[in-house]
Amino acid sequence: MVTLLSALFLGEIIRWRRIAAICFGFLGAMIIIRPAFQNLGFVVFYPVGAAICFSFYIILTRKLAHQEHPFRMQFLTGISGFLVMGVALLLGDATDIQILSLTSPTASHWGLLALLGLIATIGHLLVAFAYQRASVSILAPFQYVEIIGATLLGFWLFNDFPDPMTWLGIVIIVASGIYVFHRESRISNST
């Protein structure tokens, strides 16, 4: 999705082989998700919605990385998130929406929230600095490292290990990403 959106919004050139690799990777994602609309309903679309939102985040980061300093981008992102979620929590509490009701964190929760904020800040800054220096099509395949991290964390924290179909989907996604990265490296070296 990031590669397709980079062509639409950033004017990056996408060749037919990259489009084929993207479609192949999307097939791998569908194998992992195995959408079962009958069993789960609209919940099956949540991962797709998250992927679309994340793709726009990457595109905006790439576009702004050349106009704003990453520290300023991080500060404005944090303030924006604070304001939007603050309003959502106040409205949720006022209208008795259970999931948006205010709760007071414990001391250990505050520590975990601070750690989460630190990790997210460092991660966003690294992404912003990376997109200042390289194109979306070069950096996008590195996001597949998340699959490895999610697999290891899922096993470590929840004792959840992917089944063979999930592994097949992972291999397909990673192979398509490696192909795109390899192809882009050859194209950039030949010019």
* Predicted local distance difference test score (pLDDT) of residue 137: 65
Q: What is the pTM of this model?
A: 0.67
pLDDT value for 118? 94
pLDDT band at 15 (very low <50, low <70, confident <90, very high): confident
- Distance from C-alpha of 41 to C-alpha of 50, rounded to nearest angstrom: 16
- Contact (CB, 8 A) for 90 and 77: no
Share of the chain above pLDDT 70, in %: 88
pLDDT value of residue 68: 87
Taking residues 138-164, what's their average pLDDT?
A: 80
Lowest mean pLDDT, pick from 52-56, 88-92, 142-146, 172-176: 142-146
Q: What digits encode the pLDDT tens for the residues 90-130?
A: 888 888 888 887 788 899 999 999 999 999 999 889 988 88
